[in-house]
Amino acid sequence: MAAEKEEFLREFGEHYGYPNGPKTIDQIRATEFKRLQDTVYLDHAGATLYSEMQMESVFKDLTSNVYGNPHSQSDSSSATSEIVSAARQQVLKYCNASPKDYTCIFTSGATAALKLVGEAFPWSCNSNFMYTMENHNSVLGIREYALGQGATAVSVDIEEDVHPRITRETVSTKISLHQEQRRKVVGLPEGEPTGDVYNLFAFPSECNFSGLRFDLDLVNIIKEDSSRFFGFSSICKNKQWLVLIDAAKGCATMPPDLSKYPADFVAISFYKLFGYPTGLGALIVQNDAAKLLKKTYFSGVAASIADIDFVKRREGIEELFEDGTVSFLSIASIRQGFKILDSLTVSAISRHTTSLALYARKMLLALRHENGSNLCILYGRHNSMGHRYEMGPIVSFNLKRPDGSWYGYREVEKLASLSGIQLRTGCFCNPGACAKYLGLSHVDLITNTEAGHVCWDDHDIINGKPVGAVRISFGYMSTYDDAKKFVDFVASSFMSPQNHIEHGNQLKGLEKGVLDASYYLKSITIYPIKSCGGFSPKSWPLSDNGLKHDREWVLKSLSGEILSLKKVPEMGFISPFIDLSQGMLFVESPRCKERLQIRLESVYDGEIEDIQLYGQRYKVYNYSTETNAWFSEAVGKPCTLLRYSSSNHDFVLKKTKGAVTCRDARSAVSFANEAQLLLVSEESVSDLNRRLNSDSGVQKSIGGTTMQVNASRFRPNLVVFGGRPYDEDEWSDIRIGNKYFRSLGGCNRCQIINLALSDGQVQKSKEPLATLASYRRVKGKIVFGILLKYDGEQQQGESWLHAGQDVHPE
């Protein structure tokens, strides 16, 4: 590490680490961000982090002063008004905006600032809303206001090969227009404009997808010479252009200089600058442009009369556009954030973060598989420090396997989280940049949407194409170690030959030991209520849904959400037990004094209702108020108990070679996630424990203590004993006693198995999933155990399973 860091410092030492600042980067991290000791945080484009000194100063200020509502004349109110006024000036100063020309309007965030422009802009049927393809959804949303007033909307591309230094002499080659968008709006006047017509051009100072920085001279070109820029005059005839800059991302490292680039509107977000406060942004508006905005709603005004149509609005721009009382305590706290930026200087922050981004790009581009193919495909520009103004501190990319297929970005995110690395994946609310860089056509996007893909779901590869990317981004407190650890993580986790499943010590083949191995059913576990505890009888009947009464009940919140162990770990302490002879479901909870009793053959007075789970509709019965009150106390939040009645649920699982996560099958289930039954091998659990505690194990390598997990951590229905670790990977069909089951492939594991429930406490760690990820990955999944479907059509005799029965795999 020392030699590698020395090499980094030789290339970037002039720019890295604030060599001329009040503190070095190592001192900043050691004193101001002690909470990052075990975390590599690389999502500063989403939200940067507040420092400990910043928050101490905020707390000291709020506990030392009395700030009243500024809409009053008291001393505390006057103090607040002075603080708010000073904060406005501080925001303007940050963007080098003269108070004579600009006003700072506080909003609830950058999105609210952009929305304010959209809803108050003087649109007409002759207006144009033009925006670059690389824009956040919050900017695209302005389009609805424009189209709703009959205006034309059109997106544009700024050609990247000639983008870096746009000049007035070469603007004709810098822009390409996409298809115009219009809507027919009933009741709006048509024809030639009768007065001034206003257009709006919107672009980000920095693309939050790729990190590409737009040349701010676009502001001057659009405002002063738009006809030459667009290549034809019809779009500009008798029209004035106003310019909007979305600086929510770019402002953290390169705020727009409004004395040079006099944009009409600039939207900024404070938590992206210095982490706190959230829920506060600002619109910096040119005073002349503010006079064009048309505000309909009012709250605070100079005067109004309740029972007649009379209102006199205040004349101040900020008073006119800020509804109600501003968030004055949050506004007071931004002073502490600006102190940090001022002490380090924005130019030094820009150089520091850019050096880290350039290093990360350089190292990722150098990664190769054994066959020489590139591991990493980067988006945006890959430049040198000499051209640092072209790219911000964002690195956006996807990863490829040696055969050219793509790793899913969700797999990268999942493994990164296990390694203590926090990053972001998806399209980052920037659909234009996402489609542009990933090569997704309109047909691709519409097809993906119709197939059910939405933002934040797990569908990361559709029809062989990634539908999003991986993004890391650096902040003023990021370090070389952060970047180095991330690059090492990518290399160790995704470069060949790491990408395969290991089967313990077993050798593939049909040698004598495999054929002669014997297995038996060690235990049976039923989980009557989804995500709650289970019980293990010696024998249990089977049904068309698998084990009788398994996951037949669920708990639903009052908002309609189905409660799960992932979101409510305390559900694991609820202990159900079914006595078939009495026909009763008994439920106990450490939070409830009385044991709950529910008859299995209950008479339901209420109507059968429908719920949706896993994209399917279920018909369910509900229970009495008394029953729901018991579970609400047990869970710690209001909820209702529902029982499975029927569904149209079919699982269609894809078949591939080897140990996989899906197979061709259709099976009836109750509220199971993936299949009727889950089988885990005791020998596979033992092998996992050996790895957890080996000298080379993941847990040991990160300084963790030894640990053991038992089979119950994986919430299996069936635990088998015998043979060798991971024999079950090769099973296609099995017979237990005289009952037949079909394997549907490996079970994809998630962070649930990292929850340890004991003595009423929930403990979370990175294990055993981190260790499983090091040797049990296949096609983006981390597999352990196999999913089974009960083949009831082949059965003869009683439909029961018994612990101790022989297991015969095929």
**Alpha-carbon torsion angle 401, 406, 409, 413, nearest 10:** -10
Which burial class, exposed, middle or buried, applies to 575 when counting CB atoms under 10 A from its CB (0-12, 13-18, 19+)?
Answer: middle
- Asked if residues 58 and 278 have their Cβ atoms less than 8 Å apart, the reply is no
Residues 434 and 437: their CA atoms lie apart, in Å, by 6
CA 130 to CA 176: how far, in whole Å? Answer: 11
C-alpha dist (Å) from residue 371 to 213, 376, 487, 687: 35, 14, 20, 31
Cross-strand partners of 104:
284
Would you please indicate which residues are annotated as catalytic (active-site) residues?
Answer: 429
Question: DSSP labels for 465-505?
Answer: EESSEEEEE--TT--HHHHHHHHHHHHHHHSTTS-SB--TT
Q: What whole-number distance in Å separates Cα of residue 106 and Cα of residue 113?
A: 8
Angle, nearest 10°, between helix axes 431-438 and 442-450? 110
Q: What is the 3-state secondary structure (H, E, C) of 14-66?
A: CCCCCCCCCCCHHHHHHHHCHHHCCCEECECCCCCCCCHHHHHHHHHHHHHCC
Pairing of strands 265-269, 175-177: unpaired
Per-residue buried b or exposed e for 42-55, using 16+ beta carbons within 10 Å of the residue's own CB: bbbbbbbbbbeebb
By three-state DSSP, how is residue 725 classified? coil
DSSP strand pairing (310-312 vs 152-158): unpaired
Residue 588: count of CB within 10 angstroms of its CB: 16
Contact 406, 779 (CB under 8 A): no
DSSP calls for 136-155? -HHHHTHHHHHHHTT-EEEE
CA–CA gap between residue 297 and residue 304 (Å, rounded):
13
Dihedral in degrees, nearest 10, Cα atoms 163, 164, 165, 167? 10
Helix (H) or strand (E) holding 628: helix 625-635
Q: What angle do CA 569, 573, 577 make, to 5 degrees?
A: 130
Residues for the chain: how many in total?
810
Q: Is 678 helix (H, G, I), strand (E, B) or coil?
A: strand
Question: What phi and psi values does residue 34 have, to the nearest 5 degrees?
Answer: -65, -25
CA dihedral (721, 723, 728, 734) in degrees, to 10, reads -80
Q: Hey, what are 803's tokens?
A: 């612990």
Question: Which string of b and e fits 7-31 if b means at least 16 CB within 10 Å?
Answer: ebeeebeebbbbeebeeebeebbee
Instruction: Kindly tell me the sign of the dihedral angle through the C-alpha atoms of 69, 337, 472, 205.
Output: positive
8 Å CB contact between 770 and 701? no
Cis peptide bond prior to 768, omega within 30° of 0: yes
